[in-house]
Amino acid sequence: MTRQAAVESSSSWRLSDRLGLAFSWFLGLFFCVICAAVVIYLLVQGVRYLSPDLLWTNPKVGFTQNETGGFLAPLLGTLFVTSIAMALATPVGVGVAVWLSEYGRPRALARVVESTVEMFAGAPSIVLALFGLILFRASFLGFLTEKTGGVVYGKGFFPAGAMLSLLALPLVVTSVREGLQAVPNHVREASYALGKTRIATIRRVLLPAVRPDIITGSMIGAGHAIGDTAIIVFLLGDTYVLQGVGNVPVLGTLRGTGSTLTSYVFDNAPTGDLNQPNKAFAAALVLLVMVLVINVFVDIFGRKARELKWT
């Protein structure tokens, strides 16, 4: 039913419409310029100070910016804490989305769940961080972090990852829910009509159908979690290097403290404790590139996934 739009000139429009059009053009270009300014400035500054060895040396104590090492530990910290966050947020988010979309009864409970998810999406992360700080000092959660003489430290990769997962959760839920709503009802019925139960339908038809949405939702969520600072500063300990707890290789590191690129930028910014702007710009560039790569991936993947759908 698509009709070829007639080519028309806006010069025949009313003045107010022409002004509106001009304003829209202006705003669109304005935001492009702002975005380009941020990226180009960071790129120029970052490339100037970023050298490969920064990526594989740990931060050190030093007097000049040449002596303070690189940001290997914050880079690893970002990867670890984001992985933990996504390992928690993805399954929980998919579960919540499936329940909301496929069951959603009683209605009142569904509405409560919906607003809870929305609340997480809108909550300032520092509020979540503060709550996490109290929560993970509880002694029954002591096994997640360092515990000395009955006192729980409450800071480490697990608490930070857990609170970050709450930031990512709404994005996973929204994406998967939209995916499920895009599956036409006759596809579900086709599965029931072959003698399948509802749970088999979800497991074998719906989840495969929304796999692209699960992946894009997690990626967008990860992009969100990577950028958060408040939770990291409060809950990860913000230590120079990865300080493990105990002797178990991976688990020990994750129970311990560390920092991420965001907290590294925060500390090294001209307003921070360490005030090493060169390092801050270099780390900020790495962070920006990570997020941009994720966005590009989401874009390409999302477009590809939409190709194979029902009419």
Q: Supply the DSSP string of 95-107, one letter for each residue.
A: HHHHIIIII--SH
At CA 191, angle to CA 188 and CA 195, rounded to 5? Answer: 135
Judged by DSSP in three states, 276 sits in coil
Contacts 24+ apart (CB under 8 A), 141-145: 144/255, 145/245, 145/255
Q: Which stretch binds another protein (CB under 8 A): 125-133, 204-212, 234-242, 255-263?
A: 204-212
Q: Which residue has the tokens 């304005």?
A: 30
| 48 or 198: CB nearest another protein | 198
Interacting residue with another protein among 78, 191, 257, 262 (CB under 8 A) = 191
Among 30, 33, 192, 292, binds another protein (CB under 8 A): 192
107-122 helix and 157-181 helix, angle to the nearest 10 degrees: 130
Per CB under 8 A, 189 contacts another protein: yes
Give the nearer residue to another protein in terms of CB position, either 137 or 196. Answer: 196
Stretch that binds another protein, among 46-54, 66-74, 180-188, 264-272 (CB under 8 A): 180-188
Is 199 a residue that touches another protein (CB under 8 A)?
Answer: yes
- Judge whether 131 and 192 are in contact, CB under 8 Å: no
- Residue 299 is a binding residue for another protein (CB under 8 A): no
Stretch binding another protein (CB under 8 A), from 153-161, 195-203, 226-234, 235-243: 195-203
CB of 185 to another protein, least distance (A): 9
Contacting range for another protein; rule: CB under 8 A; set: 48-56, 74-82, 192-200, 266-274: 192-200
For the chain, the residue count is 311
Question: Using the rule CB under 8 A, is 309 a contact of another protein?
Answer: yes
**Orientation angle between helical segments 277-307 and 15-49, nearest 10 degrees:** 120
Beta bridge partners of 151: 148
Binding-residue pattern over the window 211 to 240 for another protein, x denoting contact by CB under 8 A:
x-----------------------------
Residue 48 belongs to what H/E stretch? helix 15-49
Interface residues with another protein (CB under 8 A) are 184, 186-187, 189-197, 199-200, 203-205, 208-209, 211, 308-311
